[in-house]
Amino acid sequence: MVGQYFSPDLFSRSQPQFVLVSKEICGDVARVIDTHYKCLGHNIVSVEKLSGLEINSKNFKVTIGSHIYALKRTGKKTNDTSCNEQLAISQQLLEHGIPFPRIVKNDDRALLSFHDDGFVWILAEFVKGNYFSGCSNDFFAIARAAGAMQKTLETFKHKKLPLSVSVGTWTQTSNILSELIERKREWPELFPSTECEVLMREHEYFVNSLRKVSDCMSDYHSNIVPTHIDLHPHNILVSEDNIPVFVDVDSLQLSDRIQSLAFATYKLARQHVVYEELAGSPKEIAKTTREFVENLAQEAKIEKNDIHHFPVAATAEVMRRIAIIADLNMHKNNREWNAVLHMHFSALHEIPQLFANIPHET
C-alpha cells in the first residue's frame, strides 16, 4: 500500500519559475515603482511573474539596475492594519535571526504602498534560492528553523494579526463532510467524473477516517497563537548560503499552534519521502518524521504530551480542505479547486504512515 502514495505533486518542483509579463503589466509595475519607490531609480530592466498556482496574489520579480526585488500585489480588499502587522512581525523575526525577506520601505518610509489602481503593493529584497526539495541535508535544519520561528512568534504582541479562517471550524467541516457522505447517490451530478471516481474509491476509508478524527476532536483543545499557517515546500526557499528563508507574509496569522505545525510537518515530511524515494520503506518514513517532529518540538518548546495530537491535527486540516472543495461543488457549482482533491485524499493515507512513530496519549 505504501508504494502507491508519495508521488511527486505540485509542491515537488524544486525551482521557482518566472515568465516575462505583458507590456501592460510591465507598465503597471513601472508606475508603482515611479510613484512609490523613486529612491530606487527608474531603470527597470525586466519584470517577470511567478508561475504556478497563484490564485490569490500576484508575485513579480523586478530587476532595477543591478538589483533584484520581489514585488507583491495584494487584493483590493486587503486589511491594511492586519497586513502592516504581518509585515512588521516578519521584520521582527528577521531581527531575531529568523530568516524572512527584508521589506523595502517606500519613499514615505512605509511598509505598504497604496496605489491609485486600488491595490496594495509590497516590495522586498529578492531571495535567490530554490524551494525546499526534501533532501536530508535541509530536512532537519528546516525543522529546527521552523521551531525557532514558532517560539519567537509567541513572544510578540499580536492583537492586530488576522485570525485564520481555519480556527473553530471543525463542527462546520464535520457537517459538510457528513452531508457529502449522505448525498453519495448525487455525486455523479455534483462532481465531474474524475472527482466522482476518487470519492467512490475512497468512500469507506474516508467514512472511517472522519469518524476517528471526530472522536479525537471532541477532546482536542485549541491553542490560538501567532503562527505561520502554510509552511509547505514552496514557502521555504533554501538560499545560496543553504539557509532556509520563510516566505509568504500573508500566512503569519493567529491560528491553532499544533494544527499549523502538524500540517507543515506533513507537507515537508511528505516532500522528504518523495525526494529521498522512501515510499517503499515504511519504517524509514516513520523514523525520519519522528526525528523531524522531535527537532521541531525541541526548538518550539512543545510539550511531549502535545506531540501525540500531530496525526489527528494534520488529518483535521486535510479534511477541512476537502470540505471546502465539497462545499464549493455541492452548493456553488464551483470547481476551482477540484484539481487538488486527489492530493487531499492521498494525504489521508499518507499521514498515518508518516506519523506511525508518534507516541499516543497515555
Residue-level pLDDT at 52: 67
Single out the residue in 128, 147, 169 at which a domain terminates.
Answer: 128
- Domain range for residue 113? 18-128
pLDDT recorded at residue 55: 46
Which 3-state string (H, E, C) describes the chain? CHHHCCCCCCCCCCCCCEEECCHHHHHHHHHHHHHHCHHHCCCEEEEEEECCCCCCCEEEEEEECCEEEEEEEECCCCCHHHHHHHHHHHHHHHHCCCCCCCECCCCCCCCCEECCCCCEEEEEECCCEEECCCCHHHHHHHHHHHHHHHHHHCCCCCCCCCECCCCCCHHHHHHHHHHHHHCHHHHHHHCCHHHHHHHHHHHHHHHHHHHHHHHHHCCCCCCEEEEECCCCHHHEEEECCCCEEECCHHHEEEEEHHHHHHHHHHHHHHHHHHHHCCCCCHHHHHHHHHHHHHHHHHHHCCCHHHHCCHHHHHHHHHHHHHHHHHHHHHHHCCCCCHHHHHHHHHHHHHHHHHCCCCCCCC
User: Count of CB atoms within 10 A of residue 177's CB?
Assistant: 22
Domain end point (choices 128, 160, 189)? 128
149 shares a domain with 31: no
Same domain, 247 and 180: yes
> Looking at this protein, which amino acid is placed at residue 334?
N
124 occurs within a structural domain: yes
Provide the edge-to-edge strand list for the sheet that holds 244-246.
Answer: 129-131, 236-239, 244-246
Return the closest-CA partner of residue 292 out of 139, 131, 149: 139
Q: What are phi and psi of 76, to 5 degrees?
A: -70, -20
**Residue 22 shares a structural domain with residue 147:** no
Q: Would you say residue 210 lies in a domain?
A: yes
Query: In terms of domains, do 28 and 146 share one?
Result: no
> Domain containing 293 — which CATH number?
3.90.1200.10
Q: Block means of pLDDT (10 residues each) for the chain, length 362 residues?
A: 76 91 93 94 89 67 95 81 94 96 97 92 96 95 98 90 95 98 98 97 98 90 94 94 92 97 98 96 97 97 92 97 98 95 97 90 48
82 and 218 co-located in one domain: no
Identify the pLDDT of residue 74.
Answer: 86
Domain membership flag for residue 3: no
How many structural domains compose the chain? 2
Whether 48 and 105 map to the same domain: the answer is: yes
Residue that is last in its domain, among 83, 109, 128: 128
pLDDT at 1: 41
182 shares a domain with 67: no
Evaluate whether residue 13 is within a structural domain: no
Predicted pLDDT of residue 315: 97
CB 64 within 8 A of CB 79: no
In a domain, 207, yes or no: yes
CA distances from 39 to 43, 64, 142, 335 (A): 11, 11, 35, 44
The residue type at 122: I
Task: Check residue 332 and give its pLDDT.
Answer: 97
Whether residue 343 sits in one domain with residue 235:
yes
Whether 54 and 149 share a structural domain = no
Same domain, 140 and 284: yes
Q: What pLDDT score does 177 carry? A: 98
Residue 310 lies inside a defined structural domain of this protein: yes
**Residues 316, 211 within the same domain:** yes
